[in-house]
Structure 1
Amino acid sequence: MVHIRPVRMAALGLTAALVLTACAESERGDDGGDAGGQTGGTMTFGTEGAPKLFDPFYATDGPTFRTSQQIFEGLVEFKPGTAEAAPGLAESWENSEDGLTWTFKLREGVKFHDGTDFNAEAACFNFERWYNTTGAAQSPAVTGYWQDNFGGFADKKAPSLYESCTVSDPTTIEVKLTRYTSKFPDILGLPSWSMQSPTALEKYNANEVTQQGDSFAFPEYATEHPTGTGPFKFERYDEANGTVELVRNDDYWGEKAKLDKLIFRAIPDETARKQALEAGDIDGYDLPGPADWQDLEDQGFQLLIRPAFNIFYVGIGQKNVPQLRDLKVRQAIAHAIDREGLVQQMLPEGAEVAENFYPDTVFGWTDDVQSYDHDPDKAKQLLADAGAQNLSVNFYWPTEVTRPYMPDPRAMFGFIQGNLEDVGIKLNVVSKPWNGGYLEDVDQGKADLFLLGWNGDYNTPDNFLGNFFSDPNNRFGTGNSPWGATLSDELKAADSEVDDETRQGMYEEINKKLKAEYLPAVPISHSPPALVIAENVSGLVASPLTDEKFNTVSIGS
């Protein structure tokens, strides 16, 4: 067993996100960074993987979002170090009593990186671009964030949360929704809803996504010309070594970035990231292995620990293997996995066994749920009762990646593999690179069992449960079970409930049924991820949402 020292939790306030506010006012400039830090220089930061592309609307992966958060901005942002919604390109907003109409007052004097104006017309252009997506881009593998959060598109094949965006004057827009939702306006803080230059989107054919077999080809805009309003501008991408170069936006409307250049360098192997930091080749990296934390601090590096705002789970696909549609079989899988042992042996102190599909800081969490203790004998009996003693499944795990909830995919897979084989489940092991087939296969329902998780984007239960299960045609294949549509309807009803107390009870009931009646996956753990930076780096504020901004960062000599 690896010895992992106790965690010294950083002083980060994980505050509840705004649910429905009558008005929000700008306080930009009051938070984050070292205002007196040195200006200039280049920072190289090691990331766990290479970005898939640079148009955040089409993104689903962390490395793409990390880059997007430096280049782009949305109407709403999150206060540094918290999950609390705050003004971004909208300096204030207010809503109608029924929560269906939202009026946003936009900042004046903001320009995109191509010199064009950000204004009300540009903002509505972006909303209409998202809503009017057609063709291959409607695949959940491409616009999964839109479909998980807003629903359908203008062609009305599925209902949409979005109804319209209207320009009231050059600095005011009115966004109308088709129903109340507890996640608005917080949802607009996601990188997916970043404001992008209409001129650049049209010039570089941003909407021309094509499908090639099981993969997708993205247009020139998404690979070479991302154009936002943020403190850094895209310079170039070296795909051969997964290196993204950004430069300071000297025309930025707010406080200018201190760094001249920011480089994100993909180093999928955590040990290699550590060695690069020790050699001085990089100035920091994300997701150091928990077993390395003490050694890194002993060497004088700074460890920034985020709160555990995530979930790691073993997904159970119900599309391909009929036996997995039997609750007893899914319960057998849950009893087979030694969740406590995995947490103790492979995650830092501060990690916890998960009982719900989101952490207890999120609205609607309850401890009144069915638990599945590690009980191999019970697992074997359940398999026998279901006539599934010879159960054989494809078990997928990802390579070339480290995630906040999954610091060592290979080791965590090996641990769970041993648990399942111990109860007689036959596994056909499939491993693929995270951005080289793994996510595509999982999203298309090819995996019977798979390792995945979620780091919260904002602090509502819908961000977790809604993203997982609202659409019955999901990676879990819940549409193949008699309760899949029911679960989808229950989630939509809870998110649309205006009364907080009633909504709380609805989510508590859903959490109970997810464990006792549905069990589309086995929740495993919540784990506090970390970043590590060199001694001469200052101004980086760790985020529970993993959406760190680097414009406040200084690097000393």
Structure 2
Amino acid sequence: MQHQPWPHVSRRALITGTLSALALTATGCTAKQPVGPSPTPSASPSATPPRVLRLASAADPLGFDPALVGDTDSFRITRQVYETLISIDTSTGGPVAGLAESWTESEDGLRYTFILREGVQFHDGEPLTAKAVVANFERWQKMNAEQRAGSVQGFDDVFHVSAKLPSLPSAKDIEADFDKSGNLTEAEKAKLQQRLDQLKSIEAAFKHNLFTGSGDKKSASYFESVKATGDREVTLTLRRRLPSLIEALTLPGMAIASPKALKGTGTKALSAVPVGTGPYRLSSFSEGVVSLELNKDYWNTARVGANPQHPERVEVVSIPSPHNRLNALLAEEVDGFDMVSVDVLRTLVRQAKVVVQRDPFSVLYLGMNHKHKWLGKPAFRHAIAHALNKGQLAEKLFISGTKQAHTILPPTLSIPDPDEVLGHDEAKAKELLSELKYDGEPIEFAYPLRVARTSLPLPERTFAYIAEDLAKVGIVIKPRPIAWSDDYLGTVRSEKFTGLHLLGFSGGYRSPDDFISSILAQKKYEFGYTSALLDAQILLARSLPQGEERTTAYQQIVNTLNQDLPLIPLVYPISALAFNPSVSYYPSSPVLNEVFVDTQVQVAAPSNG
């Protein structure tokens, strides 16, 4: 499908629903049938119009089944339709009661008991019961490898059900990996000894039975079982302590769907017709436009009643270009838009628009595949790290307050930077390249097109800036632009691609493991990188409670990544939304838990014709 510019759309088109037809004209696609009741028109011109929130996003959602997707634009919609056992406190960001009104943890940390709310119904009328929750867990367990690969911030990311215990390397393996040249510097000898000491510590931990239950002794899955131990009581049993479990259950991929919708072809059906317990129902989805209607039977009447200005209808329209999103806002064709880029920020300020920033909780990185002839050389990767002026990148292309990154963990997680930070040093980069006798062979560099992510609002310009930095030290790149909708993510994570690539990650809950495990989930393919030692470090750190030991464990992981360098953390971006005065409050969230029922919108004065 050819990309075409978004047509000019009147505010009346957004209100009456004719925007869908305009979107279809632009894309040449066939409209999808509405999946719910169409909005009822006002009885007369003097009737009070519904409160409508018109929001522009950067891309279409990839689907409405939160267990099978991982993109921000899909989760933006599924968070309105579905809910999770544990919710997020909008003030503190901590876990609070969701569909489970309470929970208890056993003394050994291996068993959790959840008491479900009474009187909650799914959109199809099915009641929320313990059996309904178990049906969701059973469905997640049965997902195939392809489905698991498409899921981000869901069951596999929480319980690591596909993981196997790593086979630890021997001391000789580590020495051989370090001393490939046969001539280690004193600094390299110190790093080698640090690795050997870490190996001894891990070997001691691995002598114990790390996981209980399950007959598969090689499995590193944390999940043992889930049972309905009462009509409203669910008991979840683990194979190993997982201190971050309650926070992890807030992830959008852990949303609970109607058991009726899960039957038969439920996996496919939920992608088109989501059925949850949330405050909104999906009314329709045509190319570029998602329509949501308030769920009149929503169980949390206190939440709805506390905000008399909540939207009764929401229209989310896809407008890929940041300048087109700005123009739509200035023309009052939308009430607000996400993914504010630095190049439109000045106009927004001049026009007295409201800009709402999110606290930084994402990271942008440059991936480097170790299978490449040159990228496989540690000194070459170090040269790239020294070539990049991350401070200037943050200042030029990101919203003020964005900081350069030294690790993939945002500062709010309080994990110290690595012992040795590879800073901007063009002279050092050129020296390393000269020693390697780099011959100027072009290196493929992939970057996404026609998209804006929380971690990457201006992908084309970010690529150009980094390419310029690399050119200054003599590294030649071969640009490979790939439309996000043409499976950019799948391309850079395939065995066929072995160059450089831009990617980022936005955290779903406040845990270092969320970032580390998610970013490195497919490291063998995305970075051409494997490390049994790192896998073991991550596994052991995951089960440690908050405290000094846990902080030290994650600092060691950060050091390992900094030494092996499969990726270069670039910046911790600040993302933002912009609004017209018709929106007086928007519940911005660093983990993107933004439920529209908490938004406050003004009602336009009724027209007299």
> Are the equivalent residues in 1 in contact too, given 2:55–2:337 (CA < 8 A)?
yes
Question: Which one of 529, 549, 552 corresponds to residue 478 of structure 1?
Answer: 529
Range 310-319 or range 440-449, more displaced = 440-449
After TM superposition, give the deviation of residue 390 of structure 1 in Å.
3.3
After TM superposition, give the deviation of residue 167 of structure 1 in Å.
0.8
Residue in 2 that maps onto 1:323: 374
- Partners in 2 of 1:429 and 1:269 — Cα distance? 21
- Partners in 2 of 1:332 and 1:148 — Cα distance? 33
Structure 2 counterpart SS, 1:332: helix
Residue in 1 that maps onto 2:471: 421
Structure 2 counterpart SS, 1:160: coil
User: Alpha carbons of 1:396 and 1:44: their partners in 2 closer, same or farther (altered >3 Å)?
Assistant: same
The equivalences for 1:7-22 within 5 A come to: none
After TM superposition, give the deviation of residue 474 of structure 1 in Å.
4.8
- Partners in 2 of 1:377 and 1:429 — Cα distance? 25
Structure 1 vs Structure 2 CA RMSD = 2.2
- 2:157 is the counterpart of 1:148: yes
Question: Which one of 231, 237, 240 corresponds to residue 279 of structure 2?
Answer: 231
**TM (normalized to structure 2)?**
0.78
Residue in 1 that maps onto 2:432: 382
- 2:416 is the counterpart of 1:370: no
After TM superposition, give the deviation of residue 509 of structure 1 in Å.
1.7
> Are the equivalent residues in 2 in contact too, given 1:164–1:176 (CA < 8 A)?
yes
* AA of the residue aligned to 1:164: S
User: Alpha carbons of 1:39 and 1:74: their partners in 2 closer, same or farther (altered >3 Å)?
Assistant: farther
After TM superposition, give the deviation of residue 295 of structure 1 in Å.
2.8
Residue in 1 that maps onto 2:103: 93
Structure 2 counterpart SS, 1:185: helix
Residue in 2 that maps onto 1:84: 94
Range 292-301 or range 177-186, more displaced = 292-301
- 2:403 is the counterpart of 1:352: yes
Question: Which one of 470, 492, 495 corresponds to residue 542 of structure 2?
Answer: 495
Map Cα deviations across residues 6-36 of structure 1 (whole Å, 9 max, x no partner): xxxxxxxxxxxxxxxxxxxxxxxxxxxxxxx
- Partners in 1 of 2:58 and 2:546 — Cα distance? 41
> Are the equivalent residues in 1 in contact too, given 2:153–2:252 (CA < 8 A)?
no
Question: Which one of 75, 79, 87 corresponds to residue 69 of structure 1?
Answer: 79
- Partners in 2 of 1:475 and 1:283 — Cα distance? 38
After TM superposition, give the deviation of residue 142 of structure 1 in Å.
4.6
Residue in 1 that maps onto 2:133: 123
- Partners in 2 of 1:86 and 1:151 — Cα distance? 24
Identity of aligned residues (%): 30
After TM superposition, give the deviation of residue 158 of structure 1 in Å.
5.3
Map Cα deviations across residues 513-542 of structure 1 (whole Å, 9 max, x no partner): 222x11111111112111111102133211
* AA of the residue aligned to 1:505: T
Question: Which one of 507, 517, 527 corresponds to residue 554 of structure 2?
Answer: 507
- Partners in 2 of 1:142 and 1:368 — Cα distance? 30
* AA of the residue aligned to 2:386: H
- Partners in 2 of 1:65 and 1:452 — Cα distance? 18
- Partners in 2 of 1:251 and 1:399 — Cα distance? 41
- 2:224 is the counterpart of 1:163: yes
* AA of the residue aligned to 1:232: Y
Residue in 1 that maps onto 2:359: 307
Structure 2 counterpart SS, 1:473: helix
Residue in 1 that maps onto 2:586: 540
Residue in 1 that maps onto 2:486: 436
After TM superposition, give the deviation of residue 455 of structure 1 in Å.
1.4
> Are the equivalent residues in 2 in contact too, given 1:120–1:167 (CA < 8 A)?
yes
- Partners in 2 of 1:81 and 1:534 — Cα distance? 24
User: Alpha carbons of 1:333 and 1:82: their partners in 2 closer, same or farther (altered >3 Å)?
Assistant: farther
- Partners in 2 of 1:82 and 1:410 — Cα distance? 35
Residue in 2 that maps onto 1:551: 597
Map Cα deviations across residues 349-378 of structure 1 (whole Å, 9 max, x no partner): 211111121111104x11353222222222
After TM superposition, give the deviation of residue 287 of structure 1 in Å.
1.5
> Are the equivalent residues in 1 in contact too, given 2:70–2:153 (CA < 8 A)?
yes
- 2:287 is the counterpart of 1:245: no
Map Cα deviations across residues 483-533 of structure 1 (whole Å, 9 max, x no partner): x22112111111122462211111112212222x11111111112111111
* AA of the residue aligned to 2:56: G
> Are the equivalent residues in 2 in contact too, given 1:45–1:282 (CA < 8 A)?
yes
**TM (normalized to structure 1)?**
0.85
User: Alpha carbons of 1:473 and 1:163: their partners in 2 closer, same or farther (altered >3 Å)?
Assistant: farther
> Are the equivalent residues in 2 in contact too, given 1:315–1:450 (CA < 8 A)?
yes
> Are the equivalent residues in 2 in contact too, given 1:149–1:467 (CA < 8 A)?
no
After TM superposition, give the deviation of residue 82 of structure 1 in Å.
4.4
After TM superposition, give the deviation of residue 385 of structure 1 in Å.
2.8
After TM superposition, give the deviation of residue 81 of structure 1 in Å.
4.9
- Partners in 2 of 1:393 and 1:103 — Cα distance? 53
After TM superposition, give the deviation of residue 162 of structure 1 in Å.
1.4
Extract unaligned runs of 5+ from structure 1.
1-37, 208-218
Residue in 1 that maps onto 2:63: 53
User: Alpha carbons of 1:155 and 1:468: their partners in 2 closer, same or farther (altered >3 Å)?
Assistant: farther
User: Alpha carbons of 1:287 and 1:514: their partners in 2 closer, same or farther (altered >3 Å)?
Assistant: same
- Partners in 1 of 2:82 and 2:89 — Cα distance? 16
> Are the equivalent residues in 1 in contact too, given 2:82–2:256 (CA < 8 A)?
yes
- Partners in 2 of 1:39 and 1:426 — Cα distance? 58
- 2:390 is the counterpart of 1:339: yes
- Partners in 1 of 2:413 and 2:367 — Cα distance? 21
> Are the equivalent residues in 2 in contact too, given 1:68–1:191 (CA < 8 A)?
yes
Extract unaligned runs of 5+ from structure 2.
1-47, 163-213, 605-609
Structure 2 counterpart SS, 1:169: coil
The equivalences for 1:209-220 within 5 A come to: 219-220=268-269
After TM superposition, give the deviation of residue 41 of structure 1 in Å.
2.1
After TM superposition, give the deviation of residue 144 of structure 1 in Å.
7.5
> Are the equivalent residues in 2 in contact too, given 1:259–1:551 (CA < 8 A)?
yes
The equivalences for 1:221-300 within 5 A come to: 221-222=270-271, 224-239=272-287, 242-255=288-301, 256=304, 258-300=310-352
> Are the equivalent residues in 2 in contact too, given 1:362–1:459 (CA < 8 A)?
yes
User: Alpha carbons of 1:146 and 1:327: their partners in 2 closer, same or farther (altered >3 Å)?
Assistant: farther
* AA of the residue aligned to 1:159: A
- Partners in 1 of 2:383 and 2:373 — Cα distance? 15
* AA of the residue aligned to 2:540: A
Residue in 1 that maps onto 2:452: 402
> Are the equivalent residues in 2 in contact too, given 1:393–1:427 (CA < 8 A)?
yes
- Partners in 1 of 2:418 and 2:599 — Cα distance? 43
> Are the equivalent residues in 2 in contact too, given 1:81–1:544 (CA < 8 A)?
no
> Are the equivalent residues in 2 in contact too, given 1:74–1:189 (CA < 8 A)?
yes
Residue in 2 that maps onto 1:453: 504
Residue in 1 that maps onto 2:23: none
Map Cα deviations across residues 280-308 of structure 1 (whole Å, 9 max, x no partner): 11110002112433431332321111111
- Partners in 1 of 2:586 and 2:153 — Cα distance? 30
- Partners in 1 of 2:537 and 2:521 — Cα distance? 9
Residue in 1 that maps onto 2:50: 40
- Partners in 2 of 1:39 and 1:118 — Cα distance? 33
User: Alpha carbons of 1:389 and 1:99: their partners in 2 closer, same or farther (altered >3 Å)?
Assistant: farther
After TM superposition, give the deviation of residue 227 of structure 1 in Å.
0.5
User: Alpha carbons of 1:245 and 1:229: their partners in 2 closer, same or farther (altered >3 Å)?
Assistant: same
Residue in 2 that maps onto 1:187: 248
* AA of the residue aligned to 1:486: L
* AA of the residue aligned to 1:508: Q
* AA of the residue aligned to 2:470: L
